[in-house]
Structure 1
Amino acid sequence: MNRIFNLLGKFLSFAGRAARTEYWITFLTVSAVVYAIEFFADYAGVSGDAFLFLFIVTRTVKSMICLPVSVRRLHDVDRSGWWYLVPLATFVFAFFDGTPGPNRFGPSPKYGMRRVGSVSVAPVRSDY
């Protein structure tokens, strides 16, 4: 339940990093909702200008939700958000594991970060 509240808290934020799980949950959920709305509108007989308007609105909302999480996902693999403009870059990098430990965009959402003296270190994972 905390993950859902964390996702909602970072809804439109471009700052920080997003783990693969956060990216895929957001992308697939929003896509499913958008496609369901469009399917039921088509099934209900909405056509012409009304369907075009609905299509534009749903795709705009999808972009507004998915763009920030895509940029944060690129940050997790230590890439600038400008990589989003390269076709398929976000999709390809979505499968890469994020940088372990902190990078220039913040602490790792997967590995976390802890302080040892004045140095930030990533914890050692034992589930490899």
Structure 2
Amino acid sequence: MNYYLAVLKNYAQFTGRARRSEYWYFALFSLIISIILMVIGKAIGFMGLYNIYSLAVLIPSIAVGVRRMHDVNKSGWFILIPIYNLILACTDGTPGDNNYGPDPKGREGFGAADYEKPFDIDPAN
């Protein structure tokens, strides 16, 4: 639940990075709340509860999606590519700092630039 609340606190923050757990826990709790509001709305005959909630979390949902794309060192626009954004959302973030900020897991040692360097292989060994 802390991840869900953290996303709501960063309501419209489209910069930085979001861990997989932050993204997926927000999606899970948002789905659960949506289902509960649908059931309650159906019981009382007012489906507006679900619609109001959906509008309220629209911007935080987009923001956490953009930050999730930043964690895998991709532009936030990648959330518009249907299947690829799901693959990226499931992928572990770039260790160390990348173009979008420091690693939210606090891993250090190397960053995005190190993935582009070939391994140093000494033929003498």
Q: TM-score range by the shorter chain?
A: 0.7 to 0.9
CA deviations on 1:41-99 (whole Å, 9 max, x unpaired) are: 11x241xxx42x44432322232221111110000001111111112333221110100
Change (3 A) 1:89 1:62: farther
Please tell me whether residue 41 in structure 1 is matched to residue 41 in structure 2: yes
TM value normalised by structure 2: 0.73
Q: Which residue of 1 aligns with 2:85?
A: 90
Distance in 2 (CA, whole Å) between partners of 1:85 and 1:2 is 27
User: What amino acid sits opposite 2:12 in the alignment?
Assistant: L
How many residues are treated as equivalent by the alignment? 111
TM value normalised by structure 1: 0.72
Distance in 1 (CA, whole Å) between partners of 2:90 and 2:65 is 12
User: What amino acid sits opposite 1:70 in the alignment?
Assistant: G
Larger proportion of helix: 2
Contact 2:38 2:50 in 1 (8 A): yes
Identity across the alignment (%): 34
Contact 1:31 1:62 in 2 (8 A): no
CA shift for structure 1 position 34: 1.4
**RMSD across aligned positions (CA):** 2.6
Gaps (5+ residues) in structure 1? 114-120, 123-128
